[in-house]
Amino acid sequence: MSVFITTNRAIIGAALLLPFGGSLWLFAARDAMSASSFAAGASLVLGAAAVSLKTWRSVQPTGSIGQVIHEVDRGAR
């Protein structure tokens, strides 16, 4: 079982590192891409960050079960 976990981590690491590493290089090298490509890439990164943050905040646990019951009762009316 340990071999599969190690293999999966290596595959996931490579699958994430290669695109992000290439994008980071493109953003870091001044003459590697045009201004419009830089703007499109930056807006894509900012949009993905906003969606990720909103999703992360939405899945956080509530303070208590009473809060959940109250919100469900309010939504049913």
> What is the residue-wise DSSP string for 10-63?
HHHHHHHHHHHHHHHHHHHSTTSS-HHHHHHHHHHHHHHHHHHHHHHHHTSPPS
Residues 15 and 46 in one domain: no
Give the model's pLDDT for residue 3: 62
Residue 54 domain boundaries: 34-77
Q: Indicate if 27 and 64 belong to the same structural domain.
A: no
Express each pLDDT in 36-73 by its tens digit: 888 888 888 889 889 988 888 888 776 777 777 777 77
| Whether residue 38 is found in the same domain as residue 3 | no
**pLDDT at position 77 over 60:** no
| Choice between 60 and 3, residue whose per-residue pLDDT is larger | 60
42 and 74 housed in the same domain: yes
Domains held by the chain: number: 2
45: left (phi over 0), alpha (psi -120 to 50) or beta: alpha
pLDDT at residue 70 in the model? 74
pLDDT of 73 reads 76
Query: pTM for this one?
Result: 0.50
